[in-house]
Amino acid sequence: MPATDPILPATNGVIRRSGCAADTVAEAGAVSLDVLAARRARSLPPGVRYELKGVAFTLPPVRALPVDLPESAGGDTAELLRLVLGEEMIGRMAAAGFTLGDFELVCEDWRRRNGLADGTAPLLPAAVRPGGSR
């Protein structure tokens, strides 16, 4: 096999695509996903601002959450929402008279806007969770 490919130019570890920033190859066989991850992050929808009973808050897209946060919630959307909002906001909601039904409404709308079907947890598949089956 020849040392160089007559069709592809030498890249010195940098692959350039028309109209894209460079993806770098740190070591043989390793591909940097930094450019792709940044592109995906930019393509996420903006957070959704909710207002209810005089309390306003913004929820980010589920795919923008830290990877360990859904696991901390144990698959429970309401618990995930509590972690995202924080105890201070939950206290403000309670003081404003939020009911469990109100909270459920927020959970349902957030799930719908993130393309999560009812009854599915916003978690990574078990195969990619820490300690999950491979």
3-class state of residue 48 by DSSP: strand
Residue 15: CB atoms within 10 Å? 15
CB-based contacts of 93: which residues, under 8 Å, 6+ apart?
53, 55, 85, 102, 103
- Residue 126 sits at the vertex; the CA angle it makes with 124 and 128, to the nearest 5 degrees, is 65
What's residue 20's pLDDT?
Answer: 47
Q: Are 71 and 130 in contact (CB under 8 A)?
A: yes
Tens digits of residue pLDDT in 19-45: 444 445 456 678 889 999 999 999 998
108 versus 14: which is more confidently predicted? 108
Residue type, 23: D
- Residue 52 sits at the vertex; the CA angle it makes with 51 and 55, to the nearest 5 degrees, is 70
Residue 26: CB atoms within 10 Å? 9
Instruction: Give the pLDDT band (50/70/90) at residue 115.
Output: confident
Cα–Cα distance measured from residue 18 to residue 84, given in angstroms and rounded to the nearest whole number: 38
Tens digits of residue pLDDT in 46-95: 899 999 999 999 999 988 999 888 888 887 888 999 999 999 999 999 99
